[in-house]
Structure 1
Amino acid sequence: MPQLNPAPWFYILVFSWLVILTLVIPKVNAHLSTNSPHPQSTKTPKTTPWAWPWP
């Protein structure tokens, strides 16, 4: 059974990881987020209590 021979499969595994680490990850990391996070203001908004129509 050829599956028991680890020689070709190990090289395929190593080569695929090298491709992922050198090509795919930098391409994914190069994308910029369109909505950059902004710090929220420390000012609390002025709220009014809700006036319920029934007591």
Structure 2
Amino acid sequence: MPQLNPSPWFLILIFSWLVFLTIIPPKMLSHNLLNHPNPSDSVSYSAEPWHWPWP
């Protein structure tokens, strides 16, 4: 049964992971964000106690 022979499938698996780990991450990391978050615009909210309408 040829599907039980791991030789070609193991090479395909290794090659595909090699492609995923060497080619795709630099392409994904090269994209620039258009809107950079500004921490000075963040508003801090104070927590208020919640009053339940029932006792």
Gaps of 5+ in 1: 45-55
Q: Tell me which stretches of 4 or more aligned residues in structure 1 moved more than 6 Å.
A: none
- What is the Cα deviation at residue 13 of structure 1? 0.3
2:4 aligned with 1:4, yes or no? yes
Percent of aligned pairs with the same residue? 57
What is the root-mean-square deviation in Å for CA atoms of aligned residues? 2.0
Using structure 1 for the length normalisation, give the TM-score. 0.67
- What is the Cα deviation at residue 4 of structure 1? 0.5
| Aligned counterparts of 1:43 and 1:11: Cα–Cα separation in 2 | 53
Using structure 2 for the length normalisation, give the TM-score. 0.67
List per-residue Cα deviations over 1:4-45 (Å, max 9, x = no partner). 11110000000011011111111011101111111135588x
In the alignment, what sits opposite 2:34?
34
Please say which structure displays the higher CA radius of gyration.
1
